Amino acid sequence: MDACCLEHPFQSGRHADGEPLRPGGGELTERAIACAGFAPGERVLDLGCGTGVATQLLRRHGCAAVGLDLASRRLALARESDPELAVVVADARSLPFADASLDGILAECSLTLAGYSAATLRECRRVLRPGGRLAVTDLFVRAEDAERGPLPGCMDGMISRNAILAAMADAGLAVKRWEDHSDVLKSFMARLIFSGRGTEALWFGNGSAYGAALRACRPGYFLLIARRD
């Protein structure tokens, strides 16, 4: 499945100020940008950009940022908020960029949608220049050996830390940093509740059916920086 083809449950809710609800929010995005060392003038792709919040943040840091998503409706919202924002409708398994043409990629809550597919990760490596960086913030399974049932939407694509590291290595991406930010999920749950949507937004209104599977896998959240060496 493509990394950008589903309506993400985390990005469908919003703060009162209109910012999409997502684990970590802008603070973790800022940390990802800093840890990846995305610098002014660098070409950075926001993979699965949704309404373009992180794309705009990359631009404020001086990056030549472009957002990519398959949901044209969400990209239309991104253009409404910033008519000058560079966005493109495309499939993450076939990125519309030349080989070694990007300095960086930011992927927030998007690679889980693809289940860390080899095709998507190989495309990320292809378009990165040697030394280019991939910054990821996303969900992961903290219980490495958990036997779990199916989960809804993107959550079914969650895999363990070891599996993520192996997928990155297989794609030719060297992981340079891993940070566990599972604490942000607690604050995210509170933000969902106060947004009026409730925690059922995490599992599409069917929480009781997925509770056991969620408990078994113990969802966490992480920041990863990988590099095309």
* All structural domains of the chain with their residue ranges: 9-227
CATH architecture of 9-227: 3-Layer(aba) Sandwich (3.40)
Evaluate whether 107 touches 32 at the Cβ level (below 8 Å). Answer: no
Q: Is 60 helix (H, G, I), strand (E, B) or coil?
A: helix
Give the per-residue pLDDT at 191: 64
Strands of 43-47's sheet in order across: 87-89, 64-69, 43-47, 102-108, 128-141, 219-227, 174-180
Give the per-residue pLDDT at 156: 80
Evaluate whether 110 touches 48 at the Cβ level (below 8 Å). Answer: yes
Torsion over CA: 120, 125, 129, 135 (sign) = positive
Calpha distance 39→203 (Å, rounded): 37
For the chain, how many residues are written?
229
Give the per-residue pLDDT at 21: 54
Give the per-residue pLDDT at 17: 37
On the CB side of 211, how many CA atoms lie within 13 Å of its CA? 7
Q: Which of 71, 82, 85 is nearest to 4 (CA)?
A: 71
Residue carrying the six token digits 């991104």: 78
Calpha distance 208→76 (Å, rounded): 35
Q: Is 39 helix (H, G, I), strand (E, B) or coil?
A: coil
Residue 115 CB coordination number (10 Å):
17
Close Cβ partners of 186 (under 8 Å, ≥ 6 residues apart): none
Q: What is the DSSP string of 62-127?
A: T-EEEEEES-HHHHHHHHHH-TT--EEE--TTS-SS-TT-EEEEEEES-GGGGTS-HHHHHHHHHH
pLDDT along the chain (229 residues), means of 10: 36 43 81 98 96 96 97 92 94 96 96 90 98 96 81 80 97 98 79 57 54 82 96
Q: Which of 11, 1, 100, 9 is nearest to 52 (CA)?
A: 11
